[in-house]
Copies of this chain bind each other. A is one copy, B any other.
Amino acid sequence: MTTARARRAVHDRSSLLEVAVGEFITRGYDATSMEDLSRAAGITKSSFYHHFAGKEALLRAALERSLAGLFALLEEPGATDGTPLARLRHIVRGQIAVLQRDLPYVTLLLRVRGNTESERWALEQRRTFDAQIATLVREAVEAGEIRVGVEPALAARLLSGLVNSVVEWYRPGRPGAAQLPDDVARAAFEGILPAAG
């Protein structure tokens, strides 16, 4: 029963954050009340406030975790060394891997709109991340490695859209998870629906 569970001190910041992120994803951040969160965690609102300063502190912690994973990717050797095209390939594959590892946190990050200070901070971080991708696309075009038929900035945006849409597709335990980063990279570089022949 929930009584035995609630009696135990199983409620640390990490597990409560996990519960909160799950609720934020299902209902949306704004539509989720602290009452919803505490009910999902099996404690009262007051107890939840003992672990986190408030609703936005929960959001901030979740967004930080998600962004840390993405920016760590940009520091990997494969993302800093080599030709622009090779670096792009590494980052696209890495984005999918991060998304698979931290699915709920990345999902939440992608749904942020900008009502609170934490949300605006996360949006700015995302813009910084996307700008680095856009720069790489431009460099790959200038180096003659790829030939985009559209503005490099639009190509970068479409690439983001394609990569990020995987959060709606991937579910842990799904077969073929190990091949997903390569599959998505192939779709991005060779076409989602390439002509046969």
Contact = CB atoms under 8 A, between A and B. Distances in A.
This chain: copies in complex: 2
Interface in A112-145: 113-115, 137, 140, 144-145
B28 A148 contact: no
Per DSSP, chain A at the interface is: helix
Nearest to A186: B149
Contact of A187 (B155, B160, B169, B195): B155
Contacts of A31: 30, 113, 115
A67 interface: no
Interface in A141-194: 144-151, 154-155, 157-166, 168-169, 176, 183-184, 186-194
A156 to B, nearest CB: 9
Contacts of A194: 146-148, 189-191
Contacts of A197: 147
21 contacts: A26-B113, A26-B114, A28-B28, A28-B113, A145-B196, A146-B195, A148-B194, A150-B184, A150-B186, A155-B187, A157-B169, A158-B169, A159-B193, A161-B162, A161-B163, A161-B165, A161-B166, A162-B162, A162-B165, A189-B195, A191-B191
Interface in A72-100: 85, 88
A101 interface: no
A183 B154 CA distance: 9
A158 B163 CA distance: 8
A65 interface: no
Q: Tell me which of A160, A163, A187, A188 has the highest count of chain B C-beta atoms within 10 A of its own C-beta.
A: A187
Contact of A146 (B28, B169, B193): B193
A39 interface: no
A113 to B, nearest CB: 5
